[in-house]
Chain A
Amino acid sequence: MDLYREGDPIADTRAPDGPIETRWERHRFEMKLVNPANRRKMTVIVVGTGLAGGSAAATLAEQGYQVRSYCYQDSPRRAHSIAAQGGINAAKNYRNDGDSVHRLFYDTVKGGDFRSRESNVHRLAEVSVNIIDQCVAQGVPFAREYGGLLDTRSFGGAQVQRTFYARGQTGQQLLLGAYQALERQIGLGNVEMNARHEMLELVIVDGRARGIVVRDMVTGEISTEMADAVVLATGGYGNVFYLSTNAKGCNVTASWRAHRKGAYFANPCYTQIHPTCIPVSGDHQSKLTLMSESLRNDGRVWVPKAKGDQRSPREIPEDERDYYLERIYPSFGNLVPRDIASRAAKNVCDSGRGVGPTGLGVYLDFADAINRLGRKAIEAKYGNLFEMYERITGEDPYEVPMRIYPAVHYTMGGLWVDYDLQSSIPGLFVIGEANFSDHGANRLGASALMQGLADGYFVLPNTLANYLASSGPLDKVDASHPEAVAARTDVEDRIKRLLAINGDRTVDSFHRELGQIMWEHCGMERSEAGLRKAIDEIRALREQFWQRVRVPGDGEGLNQSLEKAGRVADFFELAELMCIDALHREESCGGHFRAEHQTPDGEAQRDDDRFAYVAAWEYTGTGEPVLHKEDLTFEYVHPTQRSYK
């Protein structure tokens, strides 16, 4: 193919060997430590204050490092982890239903369609139990049973009940726990918090990440901050699709700027399309709203058996309904993993049986559960979600079934990191959704919160210490270093360039159009012809963007159009890489479904002989990225075709 070159494979991921149960424990012992007196002399920059960044910044400060924390929101409490609804997985086995660290490990590797690293996933399962302990100690008000012990529920892709939750606001409660720990450290003077600051460039000195260039979004001031190490916890890139369940401000800029400076970007085409979101209502749509996967515990998904059936759902008799997930996947039923549920919804809608004004919707029906458990019980479990649905659609889901449709939700791809969560740039660590590490080609429900907190509370603080101790005292550098000055000049030039175009189209109009290209050709189903077309269209639109975009105002103060313009410019570059990655991966796996590669009954057809690797892309600046392959080996969970039937 003409779009990329293949470079050397990745030789070392720093993953330890030996029995998988002992790898993390042994690695922790073998890693070097920094003594408490020396920690006080070291500065760590943490960008992002979600579950990963907030927990990391708090923990590093508790350990004695000088921490500088940055977020684009007006407060660290608002990072988008806050919107996670359903829950957090942990292998506590409080239900005595056969759960264990090994089973969580197994489910996650299988759920990721055998495209993740066994060592990483096992470590995640091990520390999952510590996360629950930590959060309870912080005062996170998890749901409890009458005896005062913690309640759990089921989530997709698992047959045990290992998901801990706080009504439909688990992400909010876990994030506030981390935020409060962070605020405590801010109050103690151990963390310097910089809200409404946006990272726009990475500074590399002598091959190591040593700082960032940030813009104060209120004053417009550009400044360069130097440190001993940089941690990116800047979330995923789902907003490349314009419409997604991400917050409006979520962006790829920090990751992309690091990528342009040499950090490999891994598996960018692995995106998660969540099956249960409120359908698009019109052209004005600015974002999509998720209805938690937990609803599939009690809701039944169906469409009419007949094409174009226009009757209201309550008038359609039982035997004229197709509960297609229960029919096709009898053993997991409505709780199949997200990728499978989304594609099934697309298939029934493509066959003309979709519901609602656009035909792009399926029913999620609670009538049976309300009859069985009573309205009160359903209210207690999902009340806030039902209210939210009614506010947005004007329909009462206690009376008429919800209408749902898949939407972009999470990105499994991200900056490549080794077992220590260090990117291909020494001193640059990447945690949470921003890295690619633990979910393979599909993330299971309630695993994002687990990974964010695992990285921030329990993994990074160990591996970062090892880096700092191993690299010895680094040279003192400040913002006058030529590399820092060059990075800052790049940022200033770019802002000037965006402001100078003064064209005839808004940033949002470009973003919307880019999103449509991506959704159509790099969304739930991809094909070679579609991806090639998308790459051409993205390149043409990007050229238009740099000629015709209009960014009003100046760079001196708060300028929300300027913020958006910089982010969309980076999404254009990422979008092309996503399509190249999707095109090169001539197989279907997890969230990546290639029309050419499916089993006779329409399931994803992996090609383990050719594609059992992580695709880590190196930026070259020529438009022709270089592919580095990291081979994946499976010693404990043997790849099979994933079956939820």
Chain B
Amino acid sequence: MNLTLRIWRQHGPEDKGRMVTYPVQDVSPDMSFLEMLDVLNERLILDGEEPVAFDHDCREGICGMCSLMINGEAHGPQRGTTACQLHMRQFSDGDTIDIEPWRARAFPVVKDLVVNRNAFDQIIAAGGYVTAPTGSAPEAHSVPVPKADADAAFESAACIGCGACVAACPNGSGMLFTAAKITQLSLLPQGQPERYTRVIGMVDAHDEAGFGGCTNIGECAAACPKGIPLNTIGRLNRDYLKATAKRAGS
């Protein structure tokens, strides 16, 4: 099939950037979306132009590196699917496709479609862990974890940190990402001792990094390629409320 791509080109953080149109021919429906961009880039290089910079690595939907806004949707039209797993059979001959980077205050553009998501790491560093220095762990079976809790913790732990939730949110909020980690750890017995310091630390880091506030719009959960549900944020809010009450009381 033949397509028209309109791609965001931006030389660097200081450049204003603009959409540039590229026709592409003979796209196979079995290609992945990124393979289609590979083909375009091969052509641009041979034509003496700069290829389009975009982030990608595992190309199997788990590393969270790919980050494309496709026709205004984070990771494109297919639910529960990262851009790298999106295949061209989802599109039709003659389509025009807009490709843009994640746009959020906390994720500045580095070049073309590449953004800086270091703010997510800062949120984790502010409490998204269980303090368990190597060697200090008790025998694994000393604390049983009910299967339902373990399974629910896993659902939240499946977050790949791609940032689609932020890109989809009109406020540029990173609450779904933050809540996913908080939910995972607060469901497990190992996460209890730091439960309330964690939520304060992570939410503070989230706000400092320039993410917007959550107003329960729900775009984040709709865009999440791993299906992290919106009620995860409710769990964060409950923990946050308890934590601030505890802090006020102490």
Q: Across the interface, which residues of B come within 8 angstroms of A457, CB to CB? A: 134-135
B232 interfacial contact with A, CB 8 Å: no
Contact with A along B120-136 (1 / 0, CB 8 A): 11001110111111111
- In whole Å, how far is B109's beta carbon from the nearest beta carbon of chain A? 11
Query: In the bound complex, do residue B157 and residue A145 qualify as a contact, i.e. CB atoms below 8 Å apart?
Result: no
CB proximity of B203 to chain A, nearest CB, Å:
15
User: A470 contacts which chain B residues (CB < 8 A)?
Assistant: none
Asked whether B64 lies within 8 Å of A286 as measured between CB atoms, the reply is: no
In the complex, residue of chain B having the shortest beta-carbon distance to the beta carbon of A144: B150
| Set A83, A148, A285: member contacting B58, Cβ < 8 A | A83
Q: 0/1 per residue, A116-150, Cβ < 8 Å to B?
A: 00000000000000101110111101111111111
Inter-chain contacts of A169 with B (CB < 8 A): 62, 158
Contact A284 B31 (CB under 8 A): yes
Q: Does A521 contact B (CB under 8 A)?
A: no
Q: Is the CB of B118 within 8 A of A136?
A: no
What is the 8 Å Cβ interface bit string for chain B, positions 132-146, against chain A (1 contact, 0 not)? 111111111101111
Stretch of B32-40, B167-175, B235-243 contacting A (4+ beta carbons < 8 Å): B32-40
Q: Is the CB of A391 within 8 A of B190?
A: no
**B159-206 interface (Cβ within 8 A of A):** 160-161, 184-185, 188, 190-191
Q: Is the CB of A181 within 8 A of B132?
A: yes
Question: A558 touches which one: B39, B53, B132 (CB < 8 A)?
Answer: B53
The answer to whether B121 and A136 touch across the interface, beta carbons within 8 angstroms, is: no
Contact status B188-A139, CB under 8 Å: yes
Interface residues on A, range: 35 or more
A73-B57, A183-B129, A286-B35 known; A557-B12 Cβ under 8 A = yes
A176:B134 contact, CB within 8 angstroms = no
A547 in the interface (beta carbon within 8 A) = no
Residue B92 interfacial (CB < 8 Å): no
Q: Are A141 and B188 in contact (CB under 8 A)?
A: yes
Given contacts A77-B161, A136-B190, is CB(A558)–CB(B134) below 8 Å?
no
Complex: A284 Cα to B59 Cα, angstroms:
14
Identity of the chain A residue whose Cβ is nearest the Cβ of B52 in the assembled complex: A560
Is residue A24 within 8 Å, beta carbon to beta carbon, of the partner chain? no
User: Quick check: B39 and A284 within 8 Å, CB to CB?
Assistant: yes
A253 at the interface (CB under 8 A from B): no
Q: Does chain B have a CB within 8 A of A473? A: no
User: Please, which residues of chain A bring their CB within 8 A of the CB of B128?
Assistant: 180, 183
- Knowing A80-B57, A248-B59, A504-B46, say if A180 contacts B134 (CB, 8 Å): no
Most A-side CB within 10 Å, residue of B64, B129, B130, B153: B129
The one of A78, A184, A387, A458 in contact with B57, judged by C-beta atoms closer than 8 angstroms, is A78
CB < 8 Å: which of A62, A77, A179 contacts B133?
A62
Q: Is B111 an interface residue (CB 8 A)?
A: yes
Q: Judging by beta carbons under 8 Å apart, are A149 and B45 in contact? A: no
A506 contacts B by Cβ under 8 Å: yes
Contacting residue for B87 out of A187, A248, A392, CB 8 A: A392
Instruction: Determine which of A75, A284, A458 lies in contact with B118 in the assembled complex, contact meaning CB atoms within 8 Å.
Output: A75
A82 beta carbon closer than 8 Å to chain B: yes
> How many angstroms between the C-alpha atoms of A166 and B157 in the bound complex?
10
Bound form: Cα–Cα A454–B114 in Å: 35
- Are B129 and A180 touching (Cβ within 8 A)? yes
B121 contacts which chain A residues (CB < 8 A)?
75-77, 183, 186, 193, 195
Is A172 within 8 A of B62, CB to CB? yes
Residues of chain A lying within 8 A (CB to CB) of residue B20: none
Say whether A134 contacts B132, CB under 8 Å: yes
B28 with A183: CB separation less than 8 A: no
**A103 at interface, CB cutoff 8 A:** no
Question: What are 6 A-B pairs at a CB distance below 8 A?
Answer: A59-B133, A74-B116, A78-B64, A186-B125, A284-B36, A557-B111
Q: Which 8 A-B pairs have the closest CB atoms?
A: A148-B144, A187-B125, A137-B137, A180-B129, A137-B132, A141-B154, A133-B137, A183-B125
A62-B134, A139-B129 given; name 5 further pairs at CB < 8 Å: A75-B118, A144-B147, A184-B125, A391-B81, A391-B85
